[in-house]
Structure 1
């Protein structure tokens, strides 16, 4: 049975008798040559990758955003064009970027050929553009797949002459697959740029043998935690109940919890940096390690 919520080949649907040519033309959306989908389906990076794979008729390797999506990376731009690597000269079409490359390491995922996770990470790291956004995507890729920065480093060592390879090591030094969302990555990078010791991610707190909480990031040594509260922390009743409980218990155990929302993170960065600095200094962080943390807010946003 053909799933019309997924991209499909029109010729295949007609040949198998699932659709008539008339119904295909009148009732479905044409994404690419011979690639269709049911009207009203929201586009995602994964959907665009599948459509590009069908368009290529299996000739090529999904790369870039498309490979990230197939490997399970979240938080990708749903409007971004799909990307595919093919041999020879193949003209790009609207919605699909076609590249040529040699020695591209690949694997098969869900019957589609894609760049390996290490190659995908390498391509992200050297892609250019905003450094913070690249690190967010790398964090998400590592979080989704278990990929380690050292695996990307090893891959980069085999491609030293590739375009953009020189900047990969610097980018990978800031990657942490523990971040569960782009705002968590943004928070971590902000605190590092502000001069604080690099925070640990996904800190588990126990009271004896009893699990109490898993915090987004923080410093065990000073018992300071930083938590990013997304919308679900306020709209999901069960999440709200858990939050009330743990934010009562953690201070009783000697932990300081700094809660961060979008406004504080993106518009009042100097306030966030000041709160973290005060908490760490009260907990014993020497001033010479955190001195000068409150810097120009515009610089902290870079």
Structure 2
């Protein structure tokens, strides 16, 4: 996009007058400007947040995951900073939490939390379903060591959200191909289903003909999340139906999940399919509560 700068610095250096600053530029954060009419990228907004912190903050959270290459991050997502305290403002979240030198690296010229510290922060500060989806996405493009994240939990045992982080880390799966798939998988686990595998290859003879979003290969039961584009694109819809019939011919039971479905409905279909294939499911009290909530 181009220029991201501190307006006061630009005026003091004689690069422009205050009149020119107000006429041709607009603030993105307090005191930080971009050209009017521009569409700042996530990197631009991360630079702006860092400048707004007095060049003291370290980019973390969802923005840091995107700078590390994680997919499915909206450019307009709030920028989180760690290691600094500054006045709150829309689109910028600053946390005065400790961050050690070995937890900081550089991406796009910015101080950014390492992949492991980013996972540590994602798992603590995001709501539980979103946290798992972001941890999965960070694992999707390049693996990080769960044990290293747990080591940070030992380093900061009193940090906010550590309990949630510890609960989620064993569930992280880099095979989730979208945030919706991560949330679907979490519903399954929370409702008492066996933990599903992801990206299951399906062979026909010696040839792999499909990869299933998630499921249980031993029972030949799969769950597939269908986005809106699958139903709105006629050709894609026809391909999906043909694929479903092929999988059924190969012996698979496939439960399709769409955004409008109530979780209780598709969870019941999944349970019925697993039980029909000999899987024994005995939900505990918490899992029964989850099912009630899903309804």
Give the secondary structure class of the aligned counterpart of 2:22. helix
Contact 1:49 1:70 in 2 (8 A): no
Distance 1:263 1:97, change over 3 A: closer
Q: Corresponding residue for 1:272?
A: 266
In structure 1, C-alpha distance between the alignment counterparts of 2:83 and 2:265, rounded to whole Å: 49
Q: Corresponding residue for 1:247?
A: 244
Distance 1:152 1:236, change over 3 A: farther
Q: Aligned-pair distance for 1:83?
A: 2.2
Contact 2:120 2:152 in 1 (8 A): yes
Unaligned ranges ≥5, structure 1 = none
In structure 2, C-alpha distance between the alignment counterparts of 1:183 and 1:113, rounded to whole Å: 30
Q: TM-score, normalised by structure 1?
A: 0.80
In structure 2, C-alpha distance between the alignment counterparts of 1:271 and 1:209, rounded to whole Å: 36
Q: Is 1:218 aligned with 2:215? A: yes
Q: Aligned-pair distance for 1:12?
A: 6.5
Which of 89, 94, 115 aligns to 1:94? It is: 89
Which of 176, 182, 187 aligns to 2:173? It is: 176
In structure 1, C-alpha distance between the alignment counterparts of 2:239 and 2:53, rounded to whole Å: 47
Contact 2:32 2:48 in 1 (8 A): no
Give the secondary structure class of the aligned counterpart of 1:176. coil
Distance 1:97 1:285, change over 3 A: closer
CA displacement, residues 93-126 of structure 1 (integer Å, 9 cap, x when unaligned): 5233333324251111121110011101111223
Contact 1:148 1:177 in 2 (8 A): no
Q: Corresponding residue for 1:145?
A: 142
Q: Aligned-pair distance for 1:237?
A: 5.4
When structure 1 is superposed on structure 2, of 45-54 and 182-191 the one drifting more is: 45-54
Q: Aligned-pair distance for 1:9?
A: 5.6
In structure 1, C-alpha distance between the alignment counterparts of 2:218 and 2:175, rounded to whole Å: 18
Q: TM-score, normalised by structure 2?
A: 0.81
Q: Is 1:284 aligned with 2:261? A: no
Contact 1:45 1:65 in 2 (8 A): no
Q: Aligned-pair distance for 1:76?
A: 4.6
Contact 2:128 2:164 in 1 (8 A): no
Distance 1:238 1:84, change over 3 A: same
Q: Corresponding residue for 2:200?
A: 203
Q: Corresponding residue for 1:109?
A: 107
Q: Corresponding residue for 2:49?
A: 52
Contact 1:58 1:112 in 2 (8 A): no
Q: Corresponding residue for 1:31?
A: 28
When structure 1 is superposed on structure 2, of 181-190 and 71-80 the one drifting more is: 71-80
Q: Corresponding residue for 2:182?
A: 185
Contact 2:60 2:118 in 1 (8 A): yes
Q: Aligned-pair distance for 1:15?
A: 7.7
Q: Aligned-pair distance for 1:211?
A: 2.2
Unaligned ranges ≥5, structure 2 = none
Aligned-CA RMSD value: 3.4
Q: Corresponding residue for 2:260?
A: 263
Distance 1:176 1:111, change over 3 A: same
Give the secondary structure class of the aligned counterpart of 1:263. coil
Q: Is 1:72 aligned with 2:69? A: yes
Q: Corresponding residue for 1:155?
A: 152
